[in-house]
Structure 1
Amino acid sequence: MASLKEVRSRITSVQSTQQITKAMKMVAAAKLRRAQDNILRMRPYAQRLNSILGNLTALAGEEVVSEYAEQREVRRVLIIAVTSDRGLAGAFNSNVFKGVTAVVQERYAAQAAAGNVAYMAIGKKAHDFFNRRGPLVGNYTHVFSKLSFDTVREAAEQAMDGFRAGQYDEVVMVYNEFKNVATQVVRTEQLLPLVPAALPAGALATTNVDYIFEPSKEEIVRTLTPQSLKVQLYKAVLESNASEHGARMTAMEKATENAGELLKSLKLTYNRTRQAAITTEILEIVGGAEALAASR
C-alpha cells in the first residue's frame, strides 16, 4: 500500500491536471464559437459559387472547357491532408491519417507502389506525420497561426499549378468536417480535376434561356473556376479548424471528468491508508501499555 505522502502527492498532481484541462476546455469553447461562426458563414457562399459554376458549365456545354477539368490517366496523385498544429484533441488528427491511408490503399495503391503519391500537409501534425512517409509538397504549418483566405490561397495555387503543369493527374483533400461539438466526420473530396456538376432532370428545359454574358462565357468560367477551387480548400480548412476546437473541447471535458473520478479514488485510498496508520499506532500504544503493565 502506498504511503500517505505518495497518495497526497498524487492527489495534488491530479488536481493540478484537472485545473489545466478545465482551462483548456474553456479556451477551446471560446475559439469554437468564432470558428463555428466562420464556417457557417462560408458554407452558403461556397455552395452557391459551386452551383453557379456548375450551372454555367452545363449551359455552356462543350463550348467552354476549363483547363482544371482535364481528365487524364491517373499516374501521379497529390493528397492534401488537413490537421491541426497541436494535439490533445482526441482522435482528431489520427482519424485524418487513417483516412489518407485508406484512400491510398483503396484508390491509389499502384501509384503509391510506384512512388507517385505526394502529400501536401496543412497543419504541423500532418507535416510531422507525412514528412517521414513520402514526398512532401510545400510547408503550410503556419496556416492556423493566422488563418485567413490569403494563407490558404498559397496552398491552393500550388496544387492548381502542379495540376496544370502535369505534375499531378488528380488532387484530393482529406479533412474533418464539422457537424457539432461532439461529432467530426472525415471527408475525402476530389479537388482536381473538376467533376462536372449534373443539373437536376428538367433543369435545362427551364433554364435554357438566351442569356447575355458579360464578359464572355469563357472569361467567366476562366475567372470563377480558380476562385471556386481556392474557396473549396479554404472551406475545408475552416471545417477542420472548427472540428479541432470541438474535438479538443470534448477531449478536455472527458479528461476533467476522468480526473474527478481519479480524485475520488485517490481520496478514498488516502482515507483508508490514514485510517490504517491510525489503527496501527493505536495497536502499538495498546500493546506497549499492556507490555508495561505486565512487567510490573
Structure 2
Amino acid sequence: MASLKEIRTRISSVKTTRQVTSAMKMVSAAKLKKAQDAILQIRPYADKLHEILSSLGSSLENSEDSVYTQQRKPEKVLLVLVSSNRGLCGAFNSSIAKMAYDLAITKYPKQLQSENLDFLIIGKQGEKFLKLKRMPIAGQANDLLESLTFEQTSEVASRLMADFAEKRYDRIELVYNEFKNAAVQICTVEQFLPVEISEEDQDDNASFDFIYEPSKEEIVQELIPRSLKIQFFRALLDSNAAEQGARMTAMHKATDNATDLIKDLTLTFNKARQAAITNEILEVTNGAEALNG
C-alpha cells in the first residue's frame, strides 16, 4: 500500500487537475453558446439558397455558364478535412480524421495510388493524423479556425472554386463534424464540387412557375458561387460548434472522474491512516507489556 504522503500528494494533484478541467468546461460552454447561435442563424439562409438553386436545376444542367456544375470523371480529387487546432475534445478529431483516411483508401484508391488525390487540411490535429498515415497534403488553412469569419472562409472557398474551374481537380469533398447537440457530433462527407442537384429536389420544385428577374443565366452566375461560399462557411461553423460541444462534454466527464477519484483516494487515505494509528497503538501496548514483564 502507498504511504500516507504519496496518497496525500496524489489527492492534491488530482484536485489541481479537476480545477483545470472544470475551468475548461466553463470556457467551452461559453464558446459553445456563441458557436451554436452562429450555426443556427446561418442554416435557414443556407437552406433557402439550396431551395432556390434546386428550383433552377433544369436550367443549371443546360447552362454553359455554370462551370461549377460540370460532371467530370474524378481523376483528380481533393478532400478538405476540417478538424480542430487543439485537443482535449474526446474523439472529435480522431473520428473525423479516420473517416477522411478511410474515404481516401476505400473510395479513391486508384487516385491515391496514382498521386492524383490531395488533402487540404483545416485544423492541426487532423494534419498530425494524416502525416502519421503519410497521406498527400496539398496545403493547410489552420488559421481559419482562430478567427472564423465569412470573409476569410470565402477566400479559401474561392480558391477551391478556381481549382475546380481550371480543372486542377475534378471533384472536391468536405469531411467535417456536423453539430447536432452538445453531446452528439455527426461525421459528415459532403460533395462541394461539382454542384449536384438531386432529382427529388427538381421534382419538388417542378410545380412552381417562377418569374426570374434578371434572367436565369445571370441568377445562376451569381447564385452558385454565393451558395458554395455559404456551404463552405456553414461546414466550418458546424465543425466549430461540434468542437466546443465535444470539448465541453469531455471536460465535464473528466471533472466527474476526478471527483470520483478524489473520493476513492480520500477513502484509501483514511484507511491507511487508521491502520497506521492502530499499528502505533499496538506498538505502544506491546512495549508497555514488555516493560511490565
**Fold similarity call, TM over 0.5:** yes
With 190-199 and 2-11 compared, the bigger mean Cα shift is at 190-199
Equivalents in 2 of 1:49, 1:64: separation in Å?
21
Cα deviation for residue 226 of structure 1 reads 1.1
Q: Do structure 1's residue 25 and structure 2's residue 47 form an aligned pair?
A: no
Match of 2:181 in 1: 180
| CA distance 1:251–1:187, shift in 2 (3 Å) | same
Equivalents in 1 of 2:205, 2:250: separation in Å?
46
1:101-112 equivalent positions in 2, closer than 5 A: 101-112=101-112
Match of 2:54 in 1: 54
Equivalents in 1 of 2:93, 2:73: separation in Å?
31
| CA distance 1:30–1:271, shift in 2 (3 Å) | same
Cα deviation for residue 58 of structure 1 reads 2.6
Assess if the C-alpha contact under 8 Å between 2:58 and 2:202 holds in 1. no
| CA distance 1:96–1:59, shift in 2 (3 Å) | same
Assess if the C-alpha contact under 8 Å between 1:117 and 1:134 holds in 2. no
Assess if the C-alpha contact under 8 Å between 2:182 and 2:246 holds in 1. yes
Match of 1:250 in 2: 249
1:182-201 equivalent positions in 2, closer than 5 A: 182-198=183-199, 199=201, 201=203
What is the total number of aligned residue pairs between the two structures? 291
Match of 2:141 in 1: 140
Q: Which 4+ residue blocks in structure 1 deviate beyond 4 angstroms?
A: none
| CA distance 1:34–1:189, shift in 2 (3 Å) | same
Three-state SS of the structure 2 residue aligned to 1:208 is: coil
Equivalents in 2 of 1:53, 1:201: separation in Å?
13
With 8-17 and 280-289 compared, the bigger mean Cα shift is at 280-289
Equivalents in 2 of 1:150, 1:239: separation in Å?
17
| CA distance 1:202–1:109, shift in 2 (3 Å) | closer
Equivalents in 1 of 2:34, 2:205: separation in Å?
38
CA deviation map 1:157-214 (0-9, x unaligned): 221111112111110001001111111100000001111243354742x3235x2431
| CA distance 1:254–1:164, shift in 2 (3 Å) | same
Q: Using the aligned pairs only, state the percent identity.
A: 46
Match of 1:236 in 2: 235
Match of 2:81 in 1: 81
Task: Calculate the TM-score normalised by the size of structure 2.
Answer: 0.94
| CA distance 1:223–1:45, shift in 2 (3 Å) | same
Q: Do structure 1's residue 43 and structure 2's residue 48 form an aligned pair?
A: no
| CA distance 1:61–1:90, shift in 2 (3 Å) | closer
- Tell me the amino acid that sits aligned with residue 46 of structure 1: A
Match of 1:11 in 2: 11
| CA distance 1:128–1:151, shift in 2 (3 Å) | farther
Assess if the C-alpha contact under 8 Å between 1:173 and 1:191 holds in 2. yes
Three-state SS of the structure 1 residue aligned to 2:172 is: strand
Three-state SS of the structure 2 residue aligned to 1:81 is: strand
Match of 1:165 in 2: 166
1:240-279 equivalent positions in 2, closer than 5 A: 240-279=239-278
CA deviation map 1:41-67 (0-9, x unaligned): 010111111111221233565245510
Match of 2:218 in 1: 219
Assess if the C-alpha contact under 8 Å between 1:57 and 1:64 holds in 2. no
Two-structure CA RMSD over aligned residues (Å): 1.6
Cα deviation for residue 140 of structure 1 reads 1.0
Query: What stretches of structure 2 of length at least 5 have no aligned partner?
Result: none
Query: What stretches of structure 1 of length at least 5 have no aligned partner?
Result: none
Equivalents in 2 of 1:250, 1:175: separation in Å?
19
Assess if the C-alpha contact under 8 Å between 2:89 and 2:248 holds in 1. yes
Match of 1:155 in 2: 156
| CA distance 1:46–1:94, shift in 2 (3 Å) | same
Equivalents in 1 of 2:160, 2:90: separation in Å?
30
Match of 2:69 in 1: 69
